Structure 1
């Protein structure tokens, strides 16, 4: 059985997570800064990773910065932003060769850690601002990314559904920001916001690799120490709204394929005891190609180009996605709702439960075969204040029974349906 050998150390201004693993011949460094989702900061925070990757104080251009990475045996560095529940997570990742597997005696890991630190804490700044040309260029890059989301109608439909479903909750905020806010951001303003991030945000630093002959604690030392200007207490225990009435939203655009999406409240989050039951429920309902949604909506009735479900484990939401002909709205909606009703009535077999468990455990093990997947599993535990080990999670999934899945199905509430359809409700084909 795979177990994650993690040691947590409270350092000055951050938490260090050392994950000793002989599984990989590379070292993987991940820094995660978090804050609450807020409209006034979400676009600046979305822009930051784009700007920070364009150079540092020492390597002032993106070309020079990339050459410095190449010189470290082709080290790779990336940054992005995501949301988990109502928190906006900024992540920086670096992959670097492990010194143990190189003939070069030069300490590449020390150089890698220093470059990673520089990318985070010593960006290219002139006169208390980022390079205005870089900021303007990266604003255009982010603007194009936001536009691409609008063009991806499946992604757009889910975004719009969350807009409506979570209208009064921070979770509705777009993690890539808003074009109108983007236009107004200056190089000075972005640098000022960056300073608040590195001096206030809770930071978790993960180093993962084979450290048997490397004193990783000594190498890190006080390299990433921070003097926090204030301690942010991130209270994320927001109340789940009561669903008094299902919201039905229909929006029309020039398109050929309709997007029918459903948003449910699961009332179950990552650390909850019945979270494994949610996993098995979703696997049978819509999580895999053998699920009820795929078989009954797509295969048997030929109503959908795709039909699937997934859940958000830090917010307690379940989403159903389907792509249908605009004229099939009523029939597709009825059959999708029937699948949820079938789950509530326990219309699934022991063979389906066993297959669902096998698929979940295989997928989980595949995640742990990836170093950054491993880090995500550990960070999810950190965010949820959960200490469920790999074996405990697998055992919990294995122990989910028919009754627990039925109880989960009856706990889940439909909140919103959203249909993105062709103008006039007919296909433009």
Structure 2
């Protein structure tokens, strides 16, 4: 049904994932570098994608890189960072035309791989470290990114919810880092951190498309072995047992109210599910989330937004590496208590089994279609497969879809009963009715 195979080759210092499929006309190569989320290093790590895109030893400027990509028949490159559970992931993505479909272009793959290796291992240096002029410029770019969150109130409310909910957990850390760290970052300490990251973090490389595996391996493996010959292991060392802690009991739910000058209030609620990608009831949680707030046909959308006209938007999403479920809603400030109570009623309705088998079947079909659509895109399939690496747990997409379609109503009710409200966060206007 899904039309692909994945073969994993574990090497000293890195893992290769060969994904063979005839679905795409391109060849995608994605490097995933997994490190621990840590307050001391998060801002350096957030800055690295900006630096690595600015040039290499052979392509000294961003313009030189762009020209090389154009020469590779319009190859596309992106580098970014993100957090999944208690891990920070640096991702480098290169999408190339498949040389099978381009006449007289037999070197595209080899040149593309060489470029990606150079971007990762051979960035432009001045006097043995990063270029200070580039560091100064890109620190300013990152600063603007950090500050821009203030202008996106939905994103700001989500960040504040996570800060409060996970105040003693590394998941609270901002993915873009912290403004107060930038002054101390310089070309030398950032370069030292970058070298340490390559030697200590877990590196997984995905090669996806219609290709000859032996040919790709013969090009890629020697390049990687040369760069990582001093790397002792590709197993990430956890800083402490708390690093992977996903089960947490809620002793006392928190309510946080913050006030700013705004028209629309943001009511975000965080729940502990204590269910992650590794758990047997992960598929049931998928179905629960679909019924509860994952789609326009879900309880939150229908009851909070449509029936009671209390929200501009209302939805929920799972954090599958952390065991959280987050509710987002935009409301009129004066409707806070009504909206809060109706959201809580939807949780109770789910715990009481207040949904039909027809509703459940529709949601299963929607989730299945959503997963299949994700896999229609080269990057989407890789992200789904990488969930297994993050969790250290084998659950291929086909098995996940099969599991979802086997979920019973009782399974959904049981997983609903695991939900515990942890933190309610309201970002509201100054001088609204709640002041009285």
TM-score, normalisation: structure 2: 0.95
State the Cα RMSD in Å.
1.4
Q: Aligned partners of 2:107, 2:249: CA distance in 1, in Å?
A: 57
- 2:33 and 2:270 map into 1 onto residues whose CA distance is 28
| Larger displacement relative to structure 2 (168-177 or 225-234) | 225-234
Q: Find 2:249's aligned residue among 223, 242, 247.
A: 242
**Partner residue in 1 for 2:416:** 409
Matches within 5 A, 1:72-87: 72-87=72-87
1:228-258 CA distance string (max 9 Å, x none)? 4554423643153321100000000111100
Aligned CA distance change for structure 1 residues 341 and 178 (closer, same or farther; 3 Å): same
Could you tell which deviates more after superposition, 212-221 or 408-417? Answer: 212-221
Q: 2:319 aligns with which of 304, 312, 316?
A: 312
Are the aligned partners of 1:4 and 1:390 in contact in 2 as well (CA < 8 Å)? no
- State the shift of 1:391 in Å: 2.6
**Counterparts in 2 of 1:158 and 1:105: CA distance versus 1, 3 Å:** closer
Distance in 1 separating the partners of 2:123 and 2:397? 38
1:19·1:207 contact (CA, 8 Å) conserved in 2? yes
Task: From the superposition, tell whether residues 239 and 336 of structure 1 become closer, same or farther in structure 2 (CA, over 3 Å).
Answer: closer
Q: Secondary structure at the match of 2:22?
A: coil
1:411 partner SS: coil
Bigger Cα displacement from structure 2, 234-243 vs 33-42: 234-243
> Would you say the 8 A contact 1:200–1:228 is kept in 2?
no
TM-score (norm 1): 0.97
Match of 1:208 in 2: 208
Q: How do residues 81-230 of structure 1 correspond to structure 2 at under 5 angstroms?
A: 81-212=81-212, 215-225=215-225, 226-230=228-232
Deviates more, 1:383-392 or 1:62-71: 383-392
Residue 22 of structure 2 is matched in structure 1 by: 22
Deviation at 1:126, TM superposition (A): 1.1
CA contact (8 A) 2:261 2:429 kept: yes
Q: For each residue in 1:176-199, what CA deviation from the matched residue of structure 2 results, as whole angstroms up to 9, or x when unmatched?
A: 101111232111111111111112
Structure 1 residues 126-135 or 39-48, which shifts more?
126-135
8 A Cα contact 2:350 2:416, kept in partner:
yes
Which residue in the other structure is 1:46 paired with?
Answer: 46
Q: Equivalent residue of 1:83, what SS?
A: strand
Shift of residue 387 of structure 1? Answer: 1.8
Q: What is aligned with 1:383?
A: 390
Deviations 1:306-335 (A, max 9, x none): 000001000000000000011111111000
> Would you say the 8 A contact 2:18–2:213 is kept in 1?
no
2:237 matches 1:233? yes
Q: State whether residues 34 and 88 of structure 1, in contact with CA within 8 Å, keep that contact through their aligned partners in structure 2.
A: yes
Asked if 2 retains the 8 angstrom alpha-carbon contact of 1:81 and 1:91, the reply is yes
1:46-78 per-position Cα deviation (integer Å, ceiling 9, x unaligned): 000001000001111111111111111111111
Change (3 A) 1:333 1:24: same
Counterpart of 1:400? Answer: 407
The answer for unaligned runs of 5 or more in structure 1 is none
Matched, 1:251 2:253: no
Matched residues, number? 427
Report whether the alignment pairs 1:276 with 2:283.
yes
Match of 2:428 in 1: 421
Q: Would the aligned equivalents of 1:52 and 1:123 in 2 still touch at CA under 8 Å?
A: yes
Deviations 1:269-322 (A, max 9, x none): 002111000000000000000000000000000000000000100000000000
Measure how far apart 1:121 and its partner are.
0.1
